[in-house]
Structure 1
Amino acid sequence: MKYDGIIFDLDGTLWSTIESCVKSIAEVKSKHKEITREITEKEVISSMGLPFDEIVQIYYSYLEKDKAEKFAKEAFEKNIENLMQNGGTLYDNMTNIIKELSKYSSLYIVSNCIEGYIESFLRSSNLSKYFKDYESNGRTGLSKGENIKLIIERNNIKNAIYVGDTISDKIAADYAKIPFVFASYGFGNVEQYDYKIDSISEITKIMKN
C-alpha cells in the first residue's frame, strides 16, 4: 500500500534526550530543597512517551500535587532550553533518511510532550522543512491517538502509518485505526505490530514496497 503520510513519535523513534532530561531534572533539584529524591536514568526512560500527569507521579509522587506539577514543569522547560541550545542525540543517519522519506510521503510528528519540545527537535536538528505538521498533548490536551486523528484530518491524509517504540504508541495507532510500525531500537517492547524496524533506515523499504 502507498502511504501518503508517515507520522512519527519523537522520543525513542527520531532521537534520544535521556542525557539532557537527567541533567535538567538534576538542575531543578539543586534549586529546591523540597525535592529530596534523585530521579534515575531508568525512571526517565520509563517515563518516555507518557502524558505530563503520569510523569509527575513517577518523579514527584511524594510531594503535594501543586508543587509536584510546578517542579515537573520547571524541569521540562529547562530541558527544552538545553535542547534548543545543544540538541538531543539523533538516531543513525537521521538527516539523510528524513530527506529520503520526504520524497515518498509527507512527514508528521505526534508526541506526548509539553509545548515547545517538538519545536526543540525541529530547531536543533534543522529538519523542520521536511515535516509538514506536528501536534502534542501539551498543546491540545488530547491523547496521542486523538492527536494522530487530528493530524490526519487536518492534512487530509488518506493512508497514514504511525512509527513509535512503545505500547502506548501501538495503542494510539489502534485508536486512530492506522498501521503501526514498531521501532525496536527505541525504549519499549511491543509484541504486536504491522511492521517492525530495527533501524530508522528500514522505513524506506516499507515506503518503496
Structure 2
Amino acid sequence: MKTGIIFDMDGTLWDSAKEVADSWSEVLRKHANVQKQELTKEDLESVMGLTMKDIADRLFPEVPEDEQDQIMEECMVYENAYLREHGATVYEGVEETFQVLSKEYPLYIVSNCQSGYIEAFLDYYDFHRYITDFACYGDNKETKDVNIRLLAERNHLERYIYVGDIQGDYEATMKADGEFIHAAYGFGEVDADVIHLQDIRELPGALKK
C-alpha cells in the first residue's frame, strides 16, 4: 500500500509570521486607505491557515473587494521574494525528520498559501530533495480538502496522513478521507481523538504506532 505523509506549512514546518508581517507592512504603507499599516507577528498568527480572501477581509475590511485583491497580490509577490531571501523560523527538527521519513515515505506539502510560497521555503532551505510534490490554494483556488485529494490521486496514494496544527486542517483531512496527526506545537488546538505531537521529531515514532 503506497502511503504518503502530507505536511501543512505554517505552524507545522515553520513560523513565518514575523517575516510575513514585516514584508506586508512595507506594502501596506503604500496604500493610504488601509487603516492598519503596521502588522505584527500576532496579527499574522491570527489569520494563518485562512485563504487569501478571508485574510484580506480580516486585516483590511475597510478596503473595497477589488482593491483588496490587488493589495493581497502585491503582498504575496513581495512576501515570496522576502522569504526566498531571508527565510523564516523553521521548527527545530524539521530537516532531521524529513531525512528520517523520506527513507520510508514520499513526503508532500499542501497549504492554503499563495503560489510561490512553498517554493520559497523549499528554495531557501534546500528542501526540494525531500519533497516529492506539493499543492496550494494559490495555484488552483481549491480548498485544502480538495487539494489533499488531488495530490493523493495524482501521486497514486492509497493511504495518506496529513500533519497540521489547526482544527481546519483536521476537518479538511476528514473531508479528503485521509488520516490526521496534530502538530500541537503549532498555532492551534484540535478537538479530536488523534495523535498530538509536541515536537515534529516525534512523528517517525508516531507513524509506527
Structure 1 length as normaliser, TM-score? 0.95
Give the corresponding residue for 1:107: 107
Q: 1:129 Cα shift?
A: 1.1
- Equivalent pair of 1:182/1:193 in contact (CA under 8 Å): no
Runs of 4 or more, structure 1, over 3 Å off, are none
Give the corresponding residue for 2:33: 34
Q: 1:93 Cα shift?
A: 2.1
- Bigger shift: residues 38-47 or 192-201: 38-47
Partner deviation per Cα, 1:13-59 (whole Å, 9 max, x = no partner):
00110111110121012222222214333221111111111011011
Residue 43 of structure 1 aligns to a residue in which SS?
Answer: helix
Residue 46 of structure 2 aligns to a residue in which SS?
Answer: helix
Q: 1:206 Cα shift?
A: 2.0
Give the corresponding residue for 2:185: 185
Write the distance in 2 (CA, Å) between the matches of 1:24 and 1:47: 16
Q: 1:193 Cα shift?
A: 4.1
Give the corresponding residue for 1:77: 77
Give the letter aligned to residue 101 of structure 2: L
Residue 128 of structure 1 aligns to a residue in which SS?
Answer: coil
Give the corresponding residue for 2:62: 62
Write the distance in 2 (CA, Å) between the matches of 1:126 and 1:180: 26
- Equivalent pair of 2:2/2:156 in contact (CA under 8 Å): no
Runs of at least 5 residues in structure 1 that lack an aligned partner in the other structure: none
Q: 1:170 Cα shift?
A: 0.5
1:205 aligns with 2:183: no
Partner deviation per Cα, 1:122-141 (whole Å, 9 max, x = no partner):
11111111111000011011
Write the distance in 2 (CA, Å) between the matches of 1:193 and 1:85: 39
Write the distance in 1 (CA, Å) between the matches of 2:198 and 2:77: 31
- Equivalent pair of 1:98/1:130 in contact (CA under 8 Å): yes
Write the distance in 1 (CA, Å) between the matches of 2:66 and 2:39: 19
Write the distance in 2 (CA, Å) between the matches of 1:148 and 1:155: 11
Give the corresponding residue for 2:145: 145
1:194 aligns with 2:198: no
Residue 118 of structure 2 aligns to a residue in which SS?
Answer: helix
Q: 1:75 Cα shift?
A: 1.3
Write the distance in 2 (CA, Å) between the matches of 1:51 and 1:14: 18
Structure 2 length as normaliser, TM-score? 0.95
Give the letter aligned to residue 52 of structure 2: F
Give the corresponding residue for 1:93: 93
- Equivalent pair of 1:6/1:107 in contact (CA under 8 Å): yes
Count of aligned residue pairs for this structure pair: 208
Write the distance in 2 (CA, Å) between the matches of 1:191 and 1:43: 24
Write the distance in 2 (CA, Å) between the matches of 1:119 and 1:104: 23
